[in-house]
Every structure is written in structure tokens, then in C-alpha cells.
Amino acid sequence: MSANDLGLPDKGGPAQPLVIASDLTCHFPVRAGAFGPKKVVRAVDGVSFTIAKGETLGVVGESGCGKSTTARLMIGLIEATGGKIIYDGQELGADLSLRELRRGVQMVFQDSFASLNPRLTIEESIAFGPKVNGVDPAEARRIARDLLDRIGLDPARFAGRYPHELSGGQRQRVNIGRALAMRPRLVILDEAVSALDKSVEAQVLNLLADLRRDFDLTYMFISHDLNVVRYISDRLMVMYLGEVVEIGSAEALYERQAHPYTAALFSAMPSMDPDARTEVPPLAGDPPNPIDPPSGCRFHTRCPFAEEVCAARKPQVVTLGEGHQVACHMHDATSGHGKAAA
């Protein structure tokens, strides 16, 4: 089922990315003393990326790197300090209203219980969005029951139940169904499976793969589990302290990590092989304070390959191959770094 089959616009054309984020910035002001300088938390600081139609972009990084803030910017839950979001060829705020954006972009959160209204039945929760947007109540209920069947919950058994009567995996299926009731083209999944046990997690991941195929969906999948990200993602974006440090195809990044931070993340993955146990921590220390981030490359304070140039200058984004980009002085022949290729 394509976007046109659902009656949705495809204004950018098939070759145009569904989403273009350009130099996205989100700074949160910090309360200071009466005479102290005004400071901000640089949660997202100049992030640029694209999401192609029908692909899954995985987003990874340590806690506090800006993954969830970027997701909330994408759906308009928080206002950007700067930058542009272009959805299907239309710029948010100039050509596209927030209301129109939310018809095409939906989000599934980590806490499946807190995301649902405890006073609404499962059918009412899924039908709520369409009804608010003018769909006839009878048709909204039909949509809800059809989606319940699609997400693997028998409408005859589950339509009249309340959230507290469902398991965590079942509630998350309902949240997915509720998002799909709005006929979105992009679904943002913010740690949507991390609270589930492994067997249920696998079922939900398979469901997401089936729904992506059946509804011609595009996903932005945020997770701390690199194995899960590899399973579901086409491309991978690695964030550190509010910036993108590396982006490329999932398979390319799993085979070769160009940025030292990406390599550290992958080295920390647990292994079932006792001979491949991690004995030395791949990364020491905590991320720096986002209120006062380090100069130059923000990773230089924890990087084993850091040189003077890393603290002095912000690295340029270098293209290593088709779609594989990294922001690191070691891959820039003009940077002056000792390990830079000539």
C-alpha cells in the first residue's frame, strides 16, 4: 500500500527525501542568578540529515546526546531555536503548518502505559485521533478495529479492554496502532521496544517490519541497543553531545566505524562469546556539560587519538563513500592531524 493508495500527498516526488533537517538547533535556557550571565543547554546544535521515503534511519548515542530532543523537534513537540525542517518538499512554518505536519508524522514513546489514557478503551484510544480530525465516529471505530487486527490483537477480545488489562507488549502494539490511525508516512519510534523483554521485543520488531511493508512507512528508530538497530535500520546516525559525528548505511558502520566515538559504542556491545569479553572499558568518563561544551571537536576530551587540532578546530564533515560521512580530523587530509591520510 503506497502513499497514493492512502490518498496522501507526495509533493516532493519519489526521489525527494521525505524529511530534510538542516542545521537544526535547540537550546534550553538555564536559570542563572540575577547578575550572572545567561546560559543555555545545547541539546541539539547544528544537526543535519535526511530520511528517504520508505527507509528506516536508526539514531544511536549515549544518554544526553540529543536523540530524543531531535525526535521531538521532528514532530513539533518542542520549538527549534534555529534551522529548518522540510517534510515532503514543504518547509515547516513557511509552507507547512504544525497541524499538517502531525497528520504525516506520528511518534511512539518508550512508556507504553503513560502514553495511553487509562479512562479510554483500546478501541477509543485508536479511534480518538481520526475523530478529532473530522472522521465520522462509526468510521473511526471501523478504522480502530481494522488496525487492532493488523497489530495482532483480536478486536472481539481487546476492543473493549482498558490499558491496565494489557501487558506491556500489547500496550505498545496499541500505541503503534494509534499512531497508524492518523495515516502517517513517518513514524518516530523513541526507545519503543527497550522496555519490553526480549521475546516480546522480537515480536514487536517483526510487526514493525510488516507494517512498514504493508503501509509504505518510513521510520526514525531511536535506541540504545545496537543489535536491535542493526536488525531494523537501513542507515545509522550517531550523535554525540548534540551533534552528528557519523552517518552511513547500517552494514557499512557495523563493518567499519570511522569515528572513534562510534568505534567505542560498538566495542561496548555485549558478546555471547566468552573469548570476546570486554576487559578494558572502550570509553572512559562521562560526556561533558552541554551548557559549556568543549571547543573544537566535542569528543576530544575523551578521544584516545586527540591532538592539538582537535581542541582548536571543529572538524569538517568528510565523505568516505556513498552515503558514509564522518566529522573527524583523522579523515580530513587538510586538517593537520597526525593520522590524517595525505
Q: pLDDT tens digits, residue range 306-327?
A: 999 999 999 999 999 888 999 9
Residue 194 phi, psi dihedral angles, 5° rounding: -70, -20
How far apart CA 61 and CA 66 sit, in angstroms, is 8
Give this prediction's pTM.
0.89
86 has which bridge partners? 20, 91
Determine contact, residues 175/112, Cβ cutoff 8 Å: yes
Written as nine digits, the cell of 186 is 513517518
How far apart CA 277 and CA 164 sit, in angstroms, is 40
Q: Quickly list DSSP for 216-246.
A: T-EEEEE-S-HHHHHHH-SEEEEEETTEEEE
Written as nine digits, the cell of 122 is 483500546
Residue 121 phi, psi dihedral angles, 5° rounding: -70, 170
Amino acid 39: pLDDT = 86
3 state DSSP class of 124: helix
3 state DSSP class of 88: coil
Structural domains of the chain in order of their starting residue, each with its CATH number: 19-119+162-331 (3.40.50.300)
Residue corresponding to grid cell 508524522: 105
Share of the chain above pLDDT 70, in %: 89
Q: pLDDT tens digits, residue range 34-69?
A: 666 688 999 999 999 999 999 999 999 988 899 999
Q: Does position 168 have pLDDT exceeding 60, yes or no?
A: yes
236 has which bridge partners? 58, 248
Radius of gyration, alpha carbons of the chain: 22
Instruction: For residue 103, give the amino acid letter.
Output: R
- In this structure, are strands 218-222 and 56-60 parallel, antiparallel, or unpaired? parallel
How far apart CA 310 and CA 335 sit, in angstroms, is 9
How far apart CA 338 and CA 333 sit, in angstroms, is 10
3 state DSSP class of 159: coil
**Per-chain mean pLDDT for the chain:** 88
Q: pLDDT tens digits, residue range 97-125?
A: 888 888 899 999 988 888 899 999 999 99
- pLDDT band for 31, please (50, 70, 90 cuts): confident
Amino acid 4: pLDDT = 42
57 has which bridge partners? 220, 235
Q: Does position 3 have pLDDT exceeding 90, yes or no?
A: no
